Structure 1
């Protein structure tokens, strides 16, 4: 039997799931364990247009026994002409056994406080939508720790759900 080029399924065929994570992002712009780097410096006032690439680590706790759960990999760009305002575009890529390879697609302002929007996902978190609440937690000598409350809904879409067996 030939595989169909396309298939349309009713929305009710998609099971909605809710996820919640409480994680700690290590934002480390300084040596020795730097996890971001400048890649564009246009030399404009207030560093307008500067761009950084990041590979921030997300842990399940604060102690020395904390485990890396995911990495926030992407870019942040200085978008404020009159002040130091950044916009973040990143993928939270999970490394733990349960969700390995799944990701959340995230965007929003500044890293330390406020909210980021979850605008998509892959793997286990297909079609994710939600929000990440961020709170500055601790200043360290080479960076800081940001507490993240991740809350989203996603649909467990599998190839067989859409008739692509």
Structure 2
């Protein structure tokens, strides 16, 4: 009987040692970050089966001009399409054709247009949700004919940040941010936004 017990104990010890070694081996292999599992080694080729173009980065400093649909503005570049009588204008919608210039003067060096809309989306605070396509015109620059898709908020704060969520042409697959500051011109007929654009993009292969 004692012999059987001793044999069982020995078998149990051997089983426990083998189990411990197996656990240590699994833990060791799972923390080997230098080698990907074979099931994941093919992922890069699936995501990018050809020569992947590198991501580029560009910064632009330009100006955006809004001529609001105010009574004192003779030629506004926006129009109100929904004008409900709500506190602080909640629900108002304007369609925009603002324009972009390389300098603060609205009459010189137009480089593109901002096509889109802005909506007063705040019930208790001023919060204009804006969505625009920045369409760059044929002005001789390398990004002429390209677009950026821009989203953001304009509030009572004269400065803020918008998101770049897409693009085409030279700005294909764009993403990034636009820091802006705004002021009313000396004539009181337009709002000037100073834009610092920081954009990342991946030009598509021909």
Q: Could you say which residue in structure 1 is the equivalent of 2:98?
A: 56
Structure 1 residue 19: Cα displacement: 1.4
Task: Please give the root-mean-square deviation of Cα atoms over the aligned residues, in Å.
Answer: 2.2
Matched, 1:149 2:196: yes
Matched, 1:83 2:125: yes
Higher strand share: 1
TM-score where L is the length of structure 2: 0.68
Q: Could you say which residue in structure 2 is the equivalent of 1:125?
A: 171
Counting matched residue pairs gives 153
Alignment counterpart, residue 14 of structure 1, candidates 40, 53, 61 = 53
Q: Could you say which residue in structure 2 is the equivalent of 1:110?
A: 154
Unaligned regions of 5+ residues in structure 1, if any? 1-6, 161-165
TM-score where L is the length of structure 1: 0.83
Q: Could you say which residue in structure 1 is the equivalent of 2:111?
A: 69
Where has structure 1 moved over 4 Å in runs of 4 or more?
none
Q: Could you say which residue in structure 2 is the equivalent of 1:45?
A: 87
Unaligned regions of 5+ residues in structure 2, if any? 1-45
More contact order relative to length (CA 8 Å, sep ≥ 6): 1
